[in-house]
Amino acid sequence: MPTTDITAALLIIGDEILSGRTKDKNIGTLADNLTALGIRLLEVRIIADDEAAIVTAVNALRARFTYVFTTGGIGPTHDDITAESVAKAFGVSIDIDPRAVALMEPEYQRRGLELTPARLRMARIPKGAALIQNSVSIAPGFIMENVIVMAGVPSIMAAMFNDVAPTLTQGAQLFSKTLTLARAEAEIAPYFSAHQDKYPDVIMGSYPSFHGGKYKTELVLRAVDQDLLQKVADELAALLTEKGLL
């Protein structure tokens, strides 16, 4: 499969997603943003707020992908254990970081809030990590080697990703073309499969949907080479038109 070699995994940490109480909004946002940067998101995992599960997942994923993004579990309450768990995964210590306090102190002062022990919990950063700015609620995320630790609240996650994005190594962008047909997948399948066999350098996927008794199938073609993509998409469209399917 011809593609970028810059890869990523996303690790979502939170009981509330697994219980169904909170519906995830970060997967789609991060997938869109990484695709736009030519970084190929190859795996997402959602796990509980459980130290052993976090340590295992962080270590499994950081060995396999260029970047690992985590969301969730960096707030001020007892169930926020992501920072400690990431420190443990890397075998480093964690403590209140003066750089984080320096970011938080003036903003909390301005708002007339005290830096209580609970708030200072959000300043705990593993030794050796770089900070990620949080323009929404100030308490920072952090980057530890190739692991990028962000908040779970979608607006804060987005703010942190915006701070990190310019520092990421971008990959070769995959361009895409979509053909939409009011047909069941199975009618198109033989032509589409043959087309994939003919052009192995273009990634082809077929995405069916079914609403109100009507079939719809979207054929998505993706490639790094934009000229090839155009040629292969045009040829597929001509073939399906000839067969009376498009």
Please report which helix (H) or strand (E) contains residue 170, including its range: none
Task: Provide CB contacts within 8 A for 33, sequence distance 6+.
Answer: 161, 165
Report the residue from 21, 91, 112, 227 that binds a second copy according to the rule CB under 8 A.
21
- Asked if 24 interacts with a second copy (CB under 8 A), we say yes
Helix (H/G/I), strand (E/B), else coil: 40: strand
Token pair of 11 as six digits: 């690790």
Q: How far is the CB of 154 from a second copy (least distance, A)?
A: 9
Report the residue from 135, 162, 207, 242 that binds a second copy according to the rule CB under 8 A.
207
Task: Provide CB contacts within 8 A for 84, sequence distance 6+.
Answer: 51, 94, 124
Report the residue from 92, 102, 189, 238 that binds a second copy according to the rule CB under 8 A.
189
| Integer Cα distance of 72 and 74 in angstroms | 6
- Asked if 149 interacts with a second copy (CB under 8 A), we say no
- Asked if 155 interacts with a second copy (CB under 8 A), we say yes
In this complex, which beta carbon is closest to a second copy, that of residue 106 or of residue 128? Answer: 106
- Asked if 41 interacts with a second copy (CB under 8 A), we say yes
Maximal CA-CA distance, the chain: 71
Report the residue from 52, 92, 102, 118 that binds a second copy according to the rule CB under 8 A.
118
Cα angle for residues 38, 43, 48 (degrees, 5° grid): 135
- Asked if 44 interacts with a second copy (CB under 8 A), we say yes
Position 150, amino acid: M
Report the residue from 209, 226, 234, 241 that binds a second copy according to the rule CB under 8 A.
209
Report the residue from 102, 182, 186, 238 that binds a second copy according to the rule CB under 8 A.
186
Report the residue from 55, 81, 131, 136 that binds a second copy according to the rule CB under 8 A.
136
In this complex, which beta carbon is closest to a second copy, that of residue 21 or of residue 110? Answer: 21
Position 49, amino acid: D
Please report which helix (H) or strand (E) contains residue 3, including its range: none
Taking phi over 0 as left and psi of -120 to 50 as alpha, with beta for the rest, 171 belongs to: beta
Report the residue from 68, 138, 204, 233 that binds a second copy according to the rule CB under 8 A.
204
Residue with tokens 């169904």: 20
Position 44, amino acid: V
Give the binding-site size for a second copy (rule: CB under 8 A): 69
Interface residues with a second copy (CB under 8 A)?
12, 15-24, 27-28, 30-35, 40-49, 53, 75-80, 116-119, 121-122, 136-137, 153, 155-156, 174, 176, 185-190, 192-193, 196-197, 203-210, 220, 222
